[in-house]
Every structure is written in structure tokens, then in C-alpha cells.
Structure 1
């Protein structure tokens, strides 16, 4: 597999650090530790991370904006410069009674969600606004046209889509044009089947933001202990690094458009993720890992 850029990747007209930060872990559990979340965000900034991914529905309650608020407060408390920081948020999910998640891709909901996110984040324009998930109750084009209108009105600077199929990526590109810069889909050693979408992103000049790159919040700590991802533990043991670092290095090597966005609850985890940009896997190691995930 050809060598790829290790530390910087394209996001539309921007260049961001090759590893992003998935902010969901900051607030997703009840009784989350706000102070620890601040330390983790500061560790990410110190390590050079520039892309921070959140969403209006992330949080332990059925309300909106918990995660966005926690992230922006942590960022604002950083004593250094935030000039290179890109906040990416999402709209299109809802949180109903009893903490039920559902989907609303209507133009009215997306507009309301966008303006609410702008207010919570204290921004005049959202750097990257992502459609969280296709709404099965309405045509995909309806949601994409709504995002195009937000872009044309200057409320969002760039548009992304998430959890999209190849057909939906093509449809979004046709409607959104230059506004579309990214696709955020799942990619990890336990969910490796995203190559068709990655190849399409390469063809269209889109970044592929890999969510859940360590297998999800509940599985990340034990990555490689069991199942098809055991090959990652084997490579990690031989290299003297963590299986998580190997997983991120493997994802970076799949394509120069891939930007993994792992979450973290400890500064040490952030630093380990960032170190994946320095881990160049051999062709033999990559072949072993590809075989391990099937």
C-alpha cells in the first residue's frame, strides 16, 4: 500500500491534523466529570489536534447541546491560540422522552438545529455542519437541499454528511456541490467494510471522517483482546505499542482521505492516538491486519 501523508489531511479548503477528536465521550455517561473533560480537550490541543467533532444530541440526557456546550467551554479555557481549531457539529437526530433517539431530516428541523448550535457554540457561522443520519421517512434530497440553503445563506461554511451509502454520497455531491467536504462513516477493526465509500470519497475529493475508529466507546479499551481484531494486538506486541495505536495507523494507511476521530476520557489516550501518525506499518503488517479483519 502506498505511503500516505502522516500528520496533515485535507478537509475541503482546510488542512487539519490527521487525527481528530470525537467529543462524544466527554459527556455521554451520566455523572460525567467536567473537569476531566477539560483536561482531555487541553491535552488534544497540546498534542496538535485541530478537528473537534460534536453533535447537538450527544449527552447523557434527552436534552440538546450538552456536549457542544462542554466542548466549547473546554476550548475557551485553553490559554493558547484557537485559530486553527475546526469545530464540526451535526444535526438531524432528535432526543425524545425516555432518552429515545430518532431522526428528523426535515428542512425545518435542520434549520432550527443549525441556529441552536450556532448560539450554543457562540459562532456566527459553523465551520463544518454535518447531516447526522438519513431520515427514512423523507427523500434524502430534501435534507440535502436544506443543507444547501444553510450554506447559501452563510450559516455554515462547509457541509458534511454521515452514515451515508455510496448512492447517498453521490446524491449529496450533486446537490451540495462545492459545499460538501466530508463523509463521516464508521470504520474500525471491528467494522472495516467502508472501502467503497472511502474510494468514492477519494474520487470526489472528500475527507472520510472515521467515527468509532477503535470499535466504539464500550469496546475501545479491550480492542484486540478477542475476535478478528486480535491481529492488531499481535502487531502491537511486536512493536511495543498499544493495539489502539496500531488500529489508527492502519486506518490512516487505508487512504490519504481518512481522518479517524477517536474519543478519549484520559489525556494519556489522546497522546497515544496522536502517536499513531508516527507509526508507519510495513506492507507485511498491513497485509496481516487486512487478513485479520477479513
Structure 2
């Protein structure tokens, strides 16, 4: 299923410091209005104990309340992590848990089958082939239509690809101006024809806006993005996303947002074509 060049990371709508539901819903609707057709969520995106699936339910309600057509929207969710409510994160890659989690996510999303289900993180206590095998069973059962991986290395991608074949469509690793150690995984995704979905794609870019205050000292790797942004009259966040999109045709960034203004700005990144000299400047600084 084809998706928009930039997705919406829905996690900020449900974790610590989350907005009220009215603003959260407005953020999802702003994304849809801007042409975003990929929404990234997870069963573990919540704040307090006992809220498993908070973000999935919120996204489902926002889609149901949207006045336009949502048939082309892909909701990608994840399973295999948990939040006990004390700020920590747990991991559980047991096949039985993943299958139960996927079935519960489908119910919360109101979907006959989950469009894209991603294994949130490898569990060191469970053989990788066993966790991936659960995804294979979910595909075969029709619970999910496509499978993805998150927080993985090249060996794990290759092993999963051997097990899942065409059922594996994406890899979601952290990648941004500040964190670029997933270059090997990005190259492998391009070779295998897998989408690469950078999470936290705006890392290293300090908050600023064209009509508001700017941080006095951007992170060193972000200063060049601020310079290009000032020259272009756009936000440095938009420049960062345009830089990512220029790196590989398989990249689909999923920046988080908790305000309509933020996702509107992110969704406009594909319209910003950086000149070769601008890309060279950014790469030189990052190196």
C-alpha cells in the first residue's frame, strides 16, 4: 500500500505531557487534511499503568470522527513492549504474547486486519526466529496484512526477511541529524525493497519557528539546518525532513506531533527540494 512521503508519529498524543483529546484529535485531522496517509502508533504508547492501547484507541476515535475519506490511511501499530506506569519500558517478544497483543490491537483499532504490524523491539530472552515466527503466523492467519520490525540490526533484518519473505515491508529505527548509526540498516532496506521509517527524525534540531522564539544555541549538528532554514524561510524541522527524504527513496519519516501546526509543517517537507550545495553543506557538517 502506497503511503504519503511523511507520516504522523502519534506517540506524543498519549505519553507524558500529552494534550487533551480535543487537541489530539485536531492534530490527527490536520495530518489527514495535509495528505498524510501513514499514522504510526503502538499498544505501549500510553502514560499511566492500565492504559495499554491508549494511543490506538485515540487514533481510532480520531479517524472515526474525521469527515473525509480515510480508506487510504494506513495505521501501523507495534507490539512487544510495555509500560508499567513508572516511566520505564519493558520488552516481551514471546510468540504467545505477540499474537495476543496483535489481536487486542486489531480490536482497539476496529480493524478486521491490521494494515502494518511491527515487532517493537527484539527481546534478548526470546530467540529472534521465534518472535519473527509469530509475525509469520499472524500473517498466515490474516490478523495482519504486512509485518515490520523496529530497533533492529542488519542480521536481524536478514533473518526476518528469510522467514517472512514478501510479508516483511518495513523497518523502523531511530535516524536523524543527531543519530545516524542505522546507515547499514538503511542500505539493506534499499537493497531488499523495504520501507525505512525513521523514528525521532528531528533529533538534534532545536525547537524554533519562523514567528516565535528560537533556542539560543542549537545543537552543533543542527546549526547548519537552522542556517539553511533561515535562507529558505522555513523551519529547520522541515529542512531536516527534506534532508532525510533526499537520502533514499525508501525513507518515510514519522515525526511526532502534538499540535496541528507541527504536523502541517512536517507534511510540507516533500515540497522542499534542497539544492545540491545545501545537501553538501549539511552532509559536511554532519561528518
Instruction: Return the offset for 1:243.
Output: 0.4
In the alignment, does 2:56 pair up with 1:56? no
Q: What does residue 211 of structure 2 align with?
A: none
- Assess if the C-alpha contact under 8 Å between 1:214 and 1:220 holds in 2: no
Of 41, 44, 67, which aligns to 2:55? Answer: 67
Aligned counterpart, 1:273 = 266
Q: Show the 5 A alignment for 1:145-160.
A: 145-160=133-148
Deviation, 1:195, is: 1.8
User: Does 1:38 pair with 2:51?
Assistant: no
> Which of 194, 203, 207 matches 1:206?
194
How far the C-alpha of 1:215 sits from its partner, in A, is: 1.4
Q: Is residue 92–residue 123 contact of structure 2 (8 Å, CA) maintained in 1?
A: yes
1:27 equivalent in structure 2: 14
Over residues 207-235 of structure 1, what are the superposed CA-to-partner deviations in whole Å (9 max), with x where a residue is unaligned?
Answer: 0011101118x965578812222110011
Q: Paired residue for 1:189, among 171, 177, 201?
A: 177
Query: For residue 5 of structure 1, what is the aligned residue in structure 2?
Result: none
Q: Within the alignment, does 1:258 sit opposite 2:246 as a pair? A: no
1:286 shift after superposition = 0.8
CA distance in 2, matches of 1:256, 1:135: 30
Q: 1:140 aligns with which of 128, 131, 145?
A: 128
- 1:99 shift after superposition: 4.2
User: Do 2:3 and 2:38's aligned partners in 1 also have CA atoms closer than 8 Å?
Assistant: yes
Distance 2:230 2:180 in 1: 21
Unaligned runs of 5+ in 1: 1-13
Structure 2 CA distance, aligned partners of 1:95 and 1:234? 39
Deviations 1:75-98 (A, max 9, x none): 110011111010000000022363
**Equivalent of residue 79 in structure 2, options 62, 70, 91:** 91
Worse overlay, 119-128 or 265-274: 265-274
Task: State the SS of the aligned residue for 1:258.
Answer: coil
**Partner deviation per Cα, 1:110-134 (whole Å, 9 max, x = no partner):** 0111011011111110000000001
Secondary structure of the corresponding residue to residue 259 of structure 1: coil
Aligned residue pairs total: 280
1:122-156, CA deviations, whole angstroms, 9 ceiling, x for partnerless residues? Answer: 11100000000010112111100111001011100
Whole-angstrom CA distance in 2 between matches of 1:99 and 1:277: 35
TM-score when scaled to structure 1?
0.91
| Alignment gaps of 5+ in structure 2 | 209-213
**Are 2:163 and 1:170 equivalent residues in the alignment?**
no
Deviations 1:173-196 (A, max 9, x none): 001111100000111111123221
Counterpart Cα distance in 1 of 2:19 and 2:279: 37
Q: Deviations over 1:38-85 (max 9, x none)?
A: 111100000000000000010111230011111111111001111101
The match for 1:227 is: 220
The 1-side partners of 2:164 and 2:271 are apart by 35
Q: Distance in 1 between matches of 2:239 and 2:59?
A: 27
Q: Are 2:100 and 1:112 equivalent residues in the alignment?
A: yes
